[in-house]
C-alpha cells in the first residue's frame, strides 16, 4: 500500500491509502483517520460508505467527523464508492447513478460489470483484511465486536445491507438518508438490473427491507432523514424500512428532521450523534 497523503488533524492523522485490489481488479483508495494515543490493535473502527458520485474525499473533507472521533478514540475508514480506472466500465451515457461512483456495494454478476464491481467483497472481506494484516487494526477482524458501519444515501443502503449480511463483522450500524428499498425505487432498479440481472428475486439479497425480516440483528439501528430532502419520496421512502423493522421486531430509531436536505450540511449537523451511537454499541462509550 502507498500513503498518498498524511495530514495531522486533532492530534491524530488523516491519511489516504492507495492499493491494488484483488476484488475489484484495479487500484482502490481509502481514507483512514487514526486518533491520537490509541492502541491500533484494540481501538474501535467505523467504516463510512459514501453515496452516489462520491469518492473517499467527500466524507473526510465535509463531514467534520474527525474531532469527535479523536475524543472517542475511534478510527474512521472511508473507502471509495466504486472501482475506477481506464479498464473499468462506466455507464454508456456517463450517468451519475450507474458505473463509476455508483457501485451500490453489491457484487455484480452481469457483464461487463462482474469483473470489477465487487464492492461487497471489497468492503466486507478485502478491506478489513488489509486493515488488520497490513495496518495492525485488530478490530477489523471478524468476530472482534469492535467495528461498525455507517453511510449516506447509496452508502446508507450499503451500511444497512452489509450489516445484515455480515453481522459478525459489523456489530453496529447507522445511516443518513439511506436507500432502504432499492428494489422498489428508480435508483435501485436501474443499478440492480445492470449489476444483478433481470431476476428481481435476486435483488432482495441487497434490499434492507427484505433482509431485516430474514437476518436477525442485535444492533439498535439509527437513521436520520431530512424532511427537506428532494429524494425523500421518490428514492428513499424510509417509512418502508420503519414498517419492516416493526414487523421483524428490529430495534430502530428513525429521526425525521425538519428543514434538512440530502447534503453534507445535513451530515455535518448530526455526525457526532452517529459516532457516539456506534461507539456506544462497540465499547460502551457515551461521548
Cell 436507500 belongs to 179
Domains and CATH numbers, the chain: 2-282 (3.40.50.1820)
Beta bridge partners of 49: 151
Neighbours of 105 (CB within 10 A): 25
Query: What pLDDT was estimated at residue 144?
Result: 95
Count Cβ atoms within 10 A of the Cβ of residue 71 and give its class: 0-12 exposed, 13-18 middle, 19 or more buried: middle
Distance from C-alpha of 271 to C-alpha of 286, rounded to nearest angstrom? 14
Question: For the residues 207-220, what does the mean pLDDT come to?
Answer: 94
Beta bridge partners of 34: 13
pLDDT greater than 70 at residue 8:
yes
pLDDT greater than 80 at residue 89:
yes
Active site residue 168: no
**Mean residue pLDDT across the chain:** 97
Query: What pLDDT was estimated at residue 193?
Result: 98
Catalytic residue among 152, 157, 163, 262: 262
C-alpha cell at 28: 482502490
Nearest-Å Rg of the Cα atoms of the chain is 17
Distance from C-alpha of 228 to C-alpha of 256, rounded to nearest angstrom? 10
Active site residue 239: no
Query: What pLDDT was estimated at residue 284?
Result: 84
Catalytic residue among 166, 229, 274, 277: 229
Beta bridge partners of 3: 17
Catalytic residue among 50, 82, 153, 217: 153
Active site residue 262: yes
pLDDT tens sequence across 11-62: 999 999 999 999 999 999 999 999 999 999 999 999 999 999 999 999 999 9
Starting from the edge strand earliest in sequence, which strands make up the sheet with 12-21, in order? 2-9, 12-21, 26-34, 75-79, 45-49, 147-152, 172-176, 221-226, 252-257
Amino acid at each position: 500500500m502507498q500513503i498518498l497523503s498524511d495530514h495531522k488533524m486533532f492530534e491524530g492523522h488523516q491519511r489516504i491509502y492507495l492499493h491494488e485490489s484483488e476484488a475489484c481488479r484495479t487500484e482502490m483508495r481509502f481514507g483512514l483517520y487514526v486518533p491520537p494515543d490509541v492502541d491500533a490493535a484494540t481501538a474501535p473502527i467505523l467504516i463510512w460508505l459514501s453515496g452516489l458520485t462520491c469518492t473517499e474525499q467527500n466524507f473526510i473533507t465535509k463531514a467534520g467527523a474527525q474531532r469527535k472521533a479523536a475524543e472517542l478514540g475511534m478510527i474512521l475508514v472511508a473507502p471509495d464508492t466504486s472501482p475506477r480506472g481506464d479498464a473499468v466500465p462506466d455507464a454508456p451515457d456517463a450517468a451519475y447513478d450507474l458505473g463509476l461512483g455508483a457501485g451500490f456495494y453489491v457484487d455484480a454478476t452481469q457483464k461487463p460489470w462482474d469483473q470489477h464491481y465487487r464492492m461487497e467483497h471489497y468492503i466486507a472481506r478485502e478491506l478489513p483484511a488489509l486493515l488488520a494484516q497490513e495496518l495492525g487494526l485488530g478490530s477489523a477482524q471478524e468476530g472482534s465486536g469492535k467495528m461498525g458501519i455507517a453511510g449516506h444515501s447509496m452508502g446508507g443502503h450499503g451500511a444497512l445491507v452489509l450489516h445484515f449480511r455480515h453481522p459478525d463483522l459489523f456489530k453496529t450500524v447507522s445511516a443518513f438518508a439511506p436507500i432502504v428499498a432499492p428494489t422498489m425505487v428508480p435508483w435501485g432498479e436501474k443499478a440492480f438490473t445492470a449489476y444483478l440481472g433481470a431476476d428481481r428475486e435476486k435483488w432482495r439479497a441487497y434490499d434492507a427491507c427484505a433482509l431485516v425480516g430474514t437476518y436477525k440483528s442485535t444492533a439498535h439501528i439509527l437513521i436520520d432523514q431530512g424532511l427537506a430532502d428532494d429524494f425523500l419520496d421518490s428514492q428513499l421512502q424510509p417509512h418502508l424500512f420503519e414498517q419492516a423493522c416493526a414487523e421483524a421486531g428490529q430495534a430502530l430509531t428513525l429521526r425525521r428532521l425538519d428543514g434538512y436536505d440530502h447534503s453534507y450540511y445535513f451530515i455535518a449537523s448530526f455526525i457526532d450523534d452517529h459516532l457516539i451511537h456506534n461507539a456506544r454499541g462497540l465499547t460502551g462509550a457515551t461521548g
